[in-house]
Chain A
Amino acid sequence: MDLADRIEAFRETLDEWLRGLYHGMITHPSYEKIEKEAEDAEDAFILACFPDAFGIPSPVSYYTAELLPYLEDEFESWERRLWDRSTYLERKGQQYHF
């Protein structure tokens, strides 16, 4: 391996590290925020589809039930998130890394 290759390899590692560092410190929290927001939007969607899960009868659950076969992942994580989430404040707080 000659010098040029070694410099190249070093630069690649450095580049990866820097990118990782940048992502971890700067961008990841915001991606996380967006993802949480997406999950919230999805929760709202599923809640709108199946309010009868909370005892609120809905005229459309008969129709939205058709979506259930395609909502496997969503449904499972929805239920998990509902169990996890103790307060709304706590959920919002998770986005800040102190």
Chain B
Amino acid sequence: MEPFVFFGGKGGVGKTTVSCAYALRCARDGQRTLVVSTDPAHSVTDVFDQPFDDSPQSVEGIDGLDAMEIDPEDEVTRHLDEIRQDLSEQVSASMVNEINRQLEMAHGTPGAYESALFDRFVDVMRNAAEYDRVVFDTSPTGSTLRLLGLPDLLEGWIDRLMHKRRTSIDLFEKAAVGSNEPRRVMEGDPVLARLQDRKEFFDFAGSALQDDAAFFLVLNPDELSLNETERAIANLQEKDLTVRGLVANKLTPSPDPDENGRGGRYLRERVETEAERLETVRSEFEPPLVAEIGWRSSEVKGDLLSDVAAELDIETAAEPPTHVS
């Protein structure tokens, strides 16, 4: 199967648990595995009882498993600092203030978090040579879907920008009289070079998501979650990314047959409605249901995680990525 695996779904359905369990399974099967979380709530930390930051660290007690957590806020700040650094090298002191204002505005736009996350995602995919498998525990559905739709959109945009820039430079070159130096020259234009870099970056992102990534959606057996999953499947399909499978999480355990108290009856009823919903999922949703994971009475970590991992019917053998050079 593809080397990059994404788990998505509505908030609170247990994406982190499922991603960690799957990562654990991959690691146990001898794949060098990295699990990447983009949840600022730091839930991977809770699952493995160990703090992580934005560089891969090995998970204690599990061979071949690394984990990292990406904080979008940190990424935006880092990006801002990088540009500021460039700015102080390139730009005269009098202009720095002027441009700084523009810069801060750009980083306050609604898309900044997503762009920062996207950058980091792609960066991880690009530099994943030492891992056989990278598992992404994504943020809730909406923003993730937008994230995955970015490369196409951005590539087109960058193309248009480059075209505009070329036109203007071309005109400037033509406007230079005789042996006068034109105000801008095409050769070695840093702006065009930057845009070209970006274009290649998006290009890589697009093809890596297309060819080297598998998507799984985690859902709970309730109406809202089912609806959202249906939308997510359609959305991903629109972007030509197919969902490989669905994971049903937090299923109610059925009571023993001799239990007839209130609790027993309640559980039996719930199990029934949930079974109906799962049937709907099986018959109406295109991607196959690859796992049915029951509720655990305590937080899923340690041994419980191994139990969950055992319930996942997802292939672990990883093919090498095709687009990483």
Question: B-contacting residues of A (Cβ < 8 Å)?
Answer: 23, 27-28, 31-32, 34-35, 37-39, 41-42, 44-45, 48-50, 52-53, 57-72, 75-76, 79
B99 interfacial by beta-carbon distance below 8 Å: yes
Given known contacts A48-B160, A67-B195, what 7 new A-B pairs fall within 8 Å (CB)? A53-B102, A53-B105, A59-B111, A62-B107, A66-B83, A70-B191, A70-B194
Contact A68 B99 (CB under 8 A): yes
B153 interfacial by beta-carbon distance below 8 Å: yes
How many angstroms between the C-alpha atoms of A58 and B160 in the bound complex? 14
Contact A23 B109 (CB under 8 A): no
**One of B105, B153, B170, B177 near A31 (C-beta < 8 A):** B177
- Using a CB-CB cutoff of 8 Å, which residues 134-153 of chain B contact chain A? 150, 153
Contact B154 A60 (CB under 8 A): yes
Contact B164 A41 (CB under 8 A): yes
> Which chain A residues lie closer than 8 Å to B103 at the CB level?
65, 68
User: Please, how many residues of chain B have a CB less than 8 angstroms from a CB on the other chain?
Assistant: 47
Contact B198 A38 (CB under 8 A): no
Q: Mostly helix, strand, loop or mixed at chain B's interface?
A: helix
How many angstroms between the C-alpha atoms of A50 and B105 in the bound complex? 9
Question: Can you name 5 A-B residue pairings with CB atoms under 8 Å?
Answer: A38-B168, A50-B106, A60-B111, A61-B111, A69-B83
How many angstroms between the C-alpha atoms of A35 and B195 in the bound complex? 24
How many angstroms between the C-alpha atoms of A75 and B25 in the bound complex? 53
Minimal Cβ-Cβ distance residue in B for A50: B102
How many angstroms between the C-alpha atoms of A65 and B99 in the bound complex? 9
> Which chain A residues lie closer than 8 Å to B95 at the CB level?
72, 75-76
**One of B90, B116, B153, B198 near A70 (C-beta < 8 A):** B90
**One of A23, A48, A52, A69 near B161 (C-beta < 8 A):** A48
Contact A63 B99 (CB under 8 A): no
B322 interfacial by beta-carbon distance below 8 Å: no
Question: A-contacting residues of B (Cβ < 8 Å)?
Answer: 79, 83, 86-87, 89-92, 95, 98-99, 102-103, 105-107, 109-112, 115-116, 150, 153-154, 157-158, 160-161, 164-165, 167-172, 174-175, 177, 183-184, 190-191, 194-195, 198
Minimal Cβ-Cβ distance residue in B for A75: B99
Contact A58 B194 (CB under 8 A): no
> Which chain B residues lie closer than 8 Å to A44 at the CB level?
164, 168
Contacts A52-B109, A72-B90; is A59 near B168 (CB within 8 Å)? Answer: no
> Which chain B residues lie closer than 8 Å to A35 at the CB level?
171-172, 175, 183
> Which chain A residues lie closer than 8 Å to B107 at the CB level?
62, 65
Contacts A38-B172, A48-B160; is A61 near B106 (CB within 8 Å)? Answer: yes
Contacts A49-B161, A66-B83; is A38 near B102 (CB within 8 Å)? Answer: no
How many angstroms between the C-alpha atoms of A79 and B195 in the bound complex? 22
**One of A31, A32, A62, A66 near B111 (C-beta < 8 A):** A62
> Which chain A residues lie closer than 8 Å to B115 at the CB level?
59, 62-63
Contact B171 A65 (CB under 8 A): no
Contact A72 B168 (CB under 8 A): no
Chain B min CB distance to A31 (Å): 5
Contacts A41-B168, A67-B191; is A34 near B106 (CB within 8 Å)? Answer: no
How many angstroms between the C-alpha atoms of A53 and B102 in the bound complex? 7
> Which chain A residues lie closer than 8 Å to B106 at the CB level?
50, 52, 61-62, 64-65
Minimal Cβ-Cβ distance residue in A for B105: A52
> Which chain B residues lie closer than 8 Å to A63 at the CB level?
115, 154, 158, 198
How many angstroms between the C-alpha atoms of A46 and B112 in the bound complex? 19
> Which chain B residues lie closer than 8 Å to A23 at the CB level?
177
Contact B174 A62 (CB under 8 A): no
